[in-house]
A and B are shown apart, each in its own frame.
Chain A
Amino acid sequence: MKLFDWILAQGGSSGGISHLPPGLRDMLEQPHAGAILRALVILGCGAVGVYLMLPRSGETDKRWPRFLGGVLATLALVFLVTTPIPAGESSIPGRGATLLWPLDDQSPATGYTFFILAFISLASAVMMITARNPVYSALWFALVLLGNSGLFLLQRADFLSAATVIVYAGAIVVTFLFVIMLAQPTGAAAFDRRSREPLLSTATGLILAAVLVGTLHYAARHEGAGVNTVGSHRPAQESIDRFAKTSKRLSLESDPHVAGLGKTLFVDHVVSVEVIGVLLLAAVVGAVLIAGHPVAHEKAGHHARQ
């Protein structure tokens, strides 16, 4: 924490960074330089952790990078919640103290539940992409799905939550496991124990995450600045509001949840549902054709030989 304070202090006073090159100095003299830096450090910490956890060749008996990476990734998740992000002058007061904002307007149980579920999801995702054995990967993915379904539930998406658990975790992941067992019964293969370009990929991930988070941060700043303000930087606001007015409201009180979803699905989006149904049918036929054809061929050949 001292480090961030120091950086913040440096960002605040122009004297300390005068020896830096002008381009970098200009960047650091931006009003949100400190916040950006902190967010970058958190994300970078997570990226380093993931990088260390990723399988790579020649680490048959060295397990410490994994442990270190796990610690770093966990630390990054903790930082997400705990590290204060300095609030700029335009940000909404009381908000944005950390990267994941405290859910002050919700009940504490909801807030804690969210943090726990988010932690489960992200941690499972990290474990999933770093697992050596594809079976473990699939199992960790199931855990991600469970966490996600909890998050869906928190967002009043009951049906989707159930569907995720049933369809995803129950059907798709199990099918995955079947295929893994079928195609790779020996568990971890040699190519599972090494990654392709782990550094470059993690760097790409870091850049993408930074840009996404930066985008959210930027949007939040202007959200605060733009509320009830002429010259808002959100030109789409009006159209979103208009859409929100004409669209059906989500109200647990008036409408039973599944009934409302069903109405929306089969009234407003009936064509899309049909299309997606046809797509699923085509996929099923295609899957049968792809996987089944060589078998039939082999059988025919077998019969011909006999």
Chain B
Amino acid sequence: MPGSETVLNNYLIVGALLFTLGLVGFLTRRNLIVMFLCAELMLQGVSLTLVAFGAYHGTWGGQVFAIFSLALAAAEAGIALALFVVIFKRGSSLDISIWQDLREADQPAIVDEPDVEAPPVEQQWPHLTVAGPLPRRTTEPKEARHDRPPAPVEIVSRRADALVNTLPSPPRGRGAGGEGGNS
């Protein structure tokens, strides 16, 4: 006593479309986890087909097979997720493109074209309007800079120098610079 062919046909079409969608996802997506989800989606399509056939024929077989596929999916998920964890621990990305080791030895690895990123947005930092007069720039003779302290202190000294230079009194010379460097 077979069931309704109409019902069977519809379920089969839905199952086939689910399977196809899972396939497309599996083929296009690069994330290992998403790919695995897509494989599960394909399994769902198959399960739906099995159940529909079982209902059409009025037997338990379809459901039993669907249960088996469910158990299989669970086992598969356990292993796959363990593998993902290992991959994560190795510090690798989940990108499938990294795993091309099984290619022929003399074949170059397929490298994706770099992302066409949108140009970075210029950060607009808020800035204060200048208050008071602009600092006057003083030009020092080059040899005067030879007695500067070495690099790490130089930042300090330069900053101090800038401070000194901003001061209005010009006749401060080398002694003041040395002092500023030591401060």
A and B touching (Cβ–Cβ under 8 A): yes
- Quote the shortest CB–CB distance from A11 to chain B (angstroms): 23
Which stretch from B28-36, B137-145, B148-156 is at the chain A interface? Answer: B28-36
Q: Are B10 and A129 in contact (CB under 8 A)?
A: no
Least CB separation from A158: chain B residue:
B63
**Is the C-beta of A305 less than 8 angstroms from some C-beta in chain B?**
no
Contact with A along B9-25 (1 / 0, CB 8 A): 11111101111111111
Q: Are B93 and A191 in contact (CB under 8 A)?
A: yes
**Is the C-beta of A87 less than 8 angstroms from some C-beta in chain B?**
no
Q: Are B33 and A179 in contact (CB under 8 A)?
A: yes
User: Which of chain B's residues have a CB closer than 8 A to the CB of A141?
Assistant: 37, 40-41
Least CB separation from A57: chain B residue:
B115
Q: Are A247 and B74 in contact (CB under 8 A)?
A: no
**Is the C-beta of B72 less than 8 angstroms from some C-beta in chain A?**
yes
**Is the C-beta of B79 less than 8 angstroms from some C-beta in chain A?**
yes
Q: What total of chain B residues lie within 8 Å of the partner, measured CB to CB?
A: 81
Give the dominant DSSP class at A's interface.
Answer: helix
Least CB separation from B17: chain A residue:
A122
Q: Which of B63, B68, B76 is most buried by chain A, counting CB atoms within 10 A of its CB?
A: B63
Cα of A156 to Cα of B117 in the assembled complex, Å: 51
Q: Are A244 and B22 in contact (CB under 8 A)?
A: no
Q: Are A118 and B28 in contact (CB under 8 A)?
A: no
A294: which of B54, B86, B93 is its contact (CB, 8 Å)? B86
**Is the C-beta of B135 less than 8 angstroms from some C-beta in chain A?**
no
**Is the C-beta of A100 less than 8 angstroms from some C-beta in chain B?**
yes
Which stretch from B43-51, B101-109, B125-133, B161-169 is at the chain A interface? Answer: B43-51
User: Which of chain A's residues have a CB closer than 8 A to the CB of B74?
Assistant: 167, 171-172, 280, 283
Q: What total of chain A residues lie within 8 Å of the partner, measured CB to CB?
A: 103
**Is the C-beta of B176 less than 8 angstroms from some C-beta in chain A?**
no
Residues of A near any B CB (own CB < 8 A): 46, 50, 54, 57-58, 60-61, 80, 95, 99-106, 114, 118, 121-122, 125-126, 128-129, 131, 134, 137-138, 141, 144-145, 148, 151-152, 155-157, 159-160, 163-164, 167-168, 171-172, 175-176, 179-180, 182-184, 189-198, 200-202, 204-205, 208-209, 212-213, 216, 220, 223, 240, 243-244, 247-251, 260-261, 264-265, 268-269, 272, 276, 279-280, 282-284, 286-288, 290-291, 294-295
Residues of B near any A CB (own CB < 8 A): 1-2, 4-7, 9-14, 16-25, 27-31, 33-34, 36-38, 40-41, 44, 47-48, 51-52, 54-55, 57-64, 66-68, 70-79, 81-89, 93-95, 97, 112-113, 115-118
A129-B29, A168-B70 are known; give 14 further A-B pairs, CB within 8 A.
Answer: A50-B24, A114-B10, A121-B18, A134-B34, A160-B47, A172-B73, A176-B77, A194-B30, A204-B27, A205-B20, A205-B27, A264-B60, A272-B68, A290-B83
Q: What would be 29 A-B contacts, judged by CB atoms less than 8 Å apart?
A: A46-B17, A57-B116, A61-B118, A99-B13, A100-B13, A103-B4, A128-B38, A129-B38, A131-B34, A137-B33, A148-B48, A151-B11, A155-B51, A179-B84, A184-B94, A196-B28, A201-B24, A204-B23, A209-B17, A213-B13, A220-B5, A223-B5, A244-B57, A247-B61, A249-B1, A250-B58, A250-B59, A276-B68, A291-B86
